[in-house]
Chain A
Amino acid sequence: MSTYPDNLKYAATHEWVRLEGDGTATVGISNHAQDALGDIVFVELPEVGATIHAKDEVAVVESVKAASDVYSPISGEIIATNATLADAPETVNAVPYDGGWFYKIQISEEQELDELMDADMYSDHCEDG
């Protein structure tokens, strides 16, 4: 698994967005984020149906080490959340870009995607600390 998959867009706060091509997107946290957090033990996800704005705190990740807020990279309505994470939060550590996704969102503000980073920019962002 690549640390910075090319098909994703990234927020400076270490969330990723995958555009599904139908006006929806899937959101999760990056490999860099899960690695920094360490073993994840709880994930608190938003309610399906909630309308959220970009940069809102939408989820909380609790690792053995610390609690960390997750900010939505984009605005829209939550259309699904990852039920697997309730019983197996460690999935985020194992496969952050795949089975470890957080929620799916109906995008309301397409132009916000332009503010996100591509894989190269995000890789530089992480290496700059």
Chain B
Amino acid sequence: MSIWEYANPKKFMDTTAPAVPWLFWGSVALLVVGLVWGFFLTPNAENFQSTVKIIYLHVPAALMAINAWFMMLVTSIIWLVRRHHVSALAAKAAAPIGLVMTVIALVTGAIWGQPMWGTWWAWDPRLTSFLILFLFYLGYLALWEAISDPDTAADLTSVLCIVGSVFAVLSRYAVNFWNQGLHQGASLSLDKEENVSDVYYIPLLVCMAAFVLLFVALVLMRTGTEIRLRRIRALEARAERGAAGA
């Protein structure tokens, strides 16, 4: 058995369709638990006061904004190398979700920044790279809509995705590259460094898990939709050829 079997649209849909409701309702349950826990059951922080509660939406959204682009990068490279349509359609399906996550991260960041920094916006390395990532998402979606041939659109958007990955990396590591700006360092890290108190850490992890599951559920659902749309176009084109030949 090989992972490439799932590049077959029917196999992909048969395998993923039953999982989507479980993933979706699992994400909803986790989000309710995480947000209720974080909003109602955690104390205000000394430094951030009640605005610390924004972390349960801001950090998971920022995480998914960046990782959605990385997922699109992987599937775009698979398209360019192996020409599997499902991978190109999965990248296309993920882009609107990544865009929404980026908007949530930018908006909640601005709302959080105003009382803490005294400004809605600053040309800080992380904020600026996130804004550029947002523009890349818009450009990526516009490019898919602008080109009528789906294979050409997949080729060009894949190249755009590779270029945009620079800014996805910058969004994640900008605070490490440039030791300046208003934005703090990473809230979570894989090393032993403790950046968030345990009181906030566990509900934050629950919310992050919820956002990951929601992203996966929506990508699978939207990829299924794109596969069906492709099938409709193929059947209509076949019918037109048949009518022209008759």
Q: Does B associate with A?
A: no
Residue ranges of A at the interface with B (Cβ–Cβ < 8 Å): none
Residue ranges of B at the interface with A (Cβ–Cβ < 8 Å): none
